[in-house]
Amino acid sequence: MKKIFNLFDLSQKVNYKTEVLSGLTVALALVPEAIAFAMIAGFSPLIGLYAAFTMGLVTSILGGRPGMISGATGAVAVVFVGLIVKLQEMNPGIDAEGILQYVFATVILAGLIQIAAGVLRLGKFIRLVPHSVMFGFVNGLAIIIFTAQFSSFYQKGSTELLQGPAMLVMLGLVLLTMLIIWGLPKLTKAVPSSLVAIIVVSALVIGLNIETTTVADTLKEGETIKGGFPPLTIPSIPFTWETFMLILPYSAIIAGVGMIESLLSLSLIDEITETRGRGNKECVAQGTANIVSGFLSGMGGCAMLGQSLINISSGARARLSGIVASVGLLCFIMFGSGLIERLPMAALVGVMFMVAIGTFEWASLKTFKKMPASDVIVMVLVTLITVITHNLAVAVLIGVVLSALAYSWENAKRIRARKYIDDKGVKHYEIFGPLFFGSVQGFADKFDVLNDPQEVVIDFAESRVADMSAIEALNSVTKRYAKRGKTVHLRHLSKDCRKLLQNAEAIIDVNIMEDPSYKVMINRI
């Protein structure tokens, strides 16, 4: 029984009121997001809402980051657009229900991939994401959250902006929502300011019968968020190798996107709360949630940074808030759809505007003259790619690659050699800087094989052999000296360098020539 209490964080000190109120705030904010992301892929709103419920509940219970919220996301929805196009090309007569069966199967397979990644402890690779990429990721996401709200300022079913009084009412209600969220914490923190703002603005609109855009106006004709408990679905697709190979690429992309977004969100919340989440546990939880989502008629998803920040900024720190948010969302679907559909979009837009403002790393703007130029370029590029493509995973991967290339280029320029001839006529090359694939050409250019004496010492006291390209460079240099009948000694190689050279002996002749007077390949003379 104690283990069960630990699972829900109920054995630890938990502020139940804060957790419950934060969860209800998140549940309200999840509704328009889940609907919008479902519509990106052309699904019914309930497909997105069911995904938000299952993803949120499972990850709140099993996840590695208490307080983080998961649900249906735009990045995952975009992947399904490609799958749907592929299915329609292969089978022009396929209907919406047939497409959903493949979608559910794709989500389940993505979940299995994520569980495998967690079991193999691949979550630790999120540490390879540089800070400049994190800045770009967060800033790009903030801009996406902000601009995604603009659709609420258009007339229903039109690309024309609201006009006259309608626009003024919308702007006024949005500003009122933002003002409450900003000002209430200065008076009291007893209740989440976002929840108070939604309740106050909604009460004004409903009580005074103010005409403005509501949640119902975001739905297509005849659609509703009213539904029952998510129905159990066993994907009805051909269980063949061809089917597996069809959905595998999309499952892999969903798994990758989900893990990157979830682990980056986890890292950011770790930084805000000054605590430490568990990345590999979160991967397993995300995978489990996607599997459950696929079997319960959901479109899958991953961590949602915007909703997570609403939760964290409201004071939630335990799993209970996420559980309340998920159960609350399900209650809205089953029992409160009529009321939720009457909520003014202005209140939800105002909340998300404040989330975007709080998400943006304003401090990053002050680093432009302090950070290296390469980091600034990477940060800006990641932000732009995120905003343009709405694919956070691709933006982060490009940022990591560019940062790695910039780092390699900078280190490649650091290779240098100090040269001198001792009283015995032996020429010494003291190497400085790492020897790796980026610096091998500069390393090779340091040696004057034709004019050097018969004996040469290459000293690595201030360097290290880093990779196979470095071993090949050593092999090439020693061969060049050997052709001239000259002897080369390698000195002061570190233990890991010596191990690397020994491992390469079976495939590369490193040409290490020992000489007792130089005590070759020891740490110090």
Element of type H or E holding 266: helix 241-273
Residue 219: predicted pLDDT: 84
Instruction: Map 434-476 to HEC letters.
Output: CECCCCHHHHHCCCCCCCCCCEEEEEEEECCECCHHHHHHHHH
- Confidence band of 500 (pLDDT split at 50, 70, 90): low
State the Cα torsion 279-147-196-58 to the nearest 10°.
-30
Residue 508: predicted pLDDT: 46
> Quick check: 489 and 518 in contact, CB under 8 A?
yes
Q: Can you list the positions of beta strands (E) in 53-109?
A: 70-71
Angstrom distance (rounded) from CA 335 to CA 333: 6
Q: What one-letter code names the amino acid at 338?
A: G
Residue 452: predicted pLDDT: 93
Residue 200: predicted pLDDT: 95
Please determine, for residue 83, whether its predicted confidence score (pLDDT) is greater than 80. yes
Q: Summarize pLDDT for 363-420 with one digit per residue, the tens.
A: 888 878 788 888 999 999 999 998 888 777 788 889 999 998 998 888 888 889 999 9
- Residue 38, φ and ψ in degrees, nearest 5: -65, -40
Residue 435 neighbours by CB under 8 Å, 6+ apart? 415, 443, 460, 463, 464, 465, 466, 470, 473, 474
Identify the DSSP state of 161. B
- Confidence band of 282 (pLDDT split at 50, 70, 90): very high
pTM of the model: 0.76
Nearest CA among 96, 74, 116 for reference residue 301:
74
Please determine, for residue 41, whether its predicted confidence score (pLDDT) is greater than 80. yes
Please determine, for residue 505, whether its predicted confidence score (pLDDT) is greater than 70. no
- Confidence band of 525 (pLDDT split at 50, 70, 90): very low
Q: Summarize pLDDT for 433-460 with one digit per residue, the tens.
A: 889 889 999 999 999 999 999 999 999 8
Sorted by where each starts, the structural domains of the chain and their CATH numbers stand as 2-365+373-403 (no CATH), 416-503 (3.30.750.24)
Nearest CA among 518, 521, 510, 450 for reference residue 486:
450
Residue 25: predicted pLDDT: 93
Taking the CA atoms of 279, 284, 287 and 289 in sequence, report the sign of the dihedral they define.
negative
Higher pLDDT, 475 or 172: 172
Count the helix, strand and coil residues of the chain and give each as a percent rounded to the nearest 5: 65, 5, 30
Angstrom distance (rounded) from CA 141 to CA 152: 19
* Strand partners of residue 303: 70
DSSP 354-415: HHHHHHS-GGGGGGTTTS-HHHHHHHHHHHHHHHHH--HHHHHHHHHHHHHHHHHHHHHTT-
Higher pLDDT, 3 or 497: 497
Residues 36, 38, 41: CA angle, nearest 5 degrees: 110
> Quick check: 30 and 52 in contact, CB under 8 A?
yes
Q: Summarize pLDDT for 260-274 with one digit per residue, the tens.
A: 889 989 988 998 888
Take residue 401 and report the two structure tokens written for it.
Answer: 């690659």
- Residue with tokens 């040696």, as numbered in its chain: 447
Please report how the helices 345-359 and 16-40 are oriented relative to each other, as an axis angle in degrees rounded to 10: 100
In this structure, are strands 70-71 and 302-303 parallel, antiparallel, or unpaired? antiparallel
Residue 503: predicted pLDDT: 63
- Residue 223, φ and ψ in degrees, nearest 5: -90, 155
Residues 168, 173, 174: CA angle, nearest 5 degrees: 100
- Residue 383, φ and ψ in degrees, nearest 5: -60, -50
Q: Summarize pLDDT for 125-184 with one digit per residue, the tens.
A: 777 788 888 889 889 888 988 888 888 898 887 788 999 999 999 999 999 999 999 999
> Quick check: 72 and 52 in contact, CB under 8 A?
yes
Element of type H or E holding 503: helix 495-503
Angstrom distance (rounded) from CA 123 to CA 132: 20
Higher pLDDT, 506 or 379: 379
Please determine, for residue 26, whether its predicted confidence score (pLDDT) is greater than 90. yes
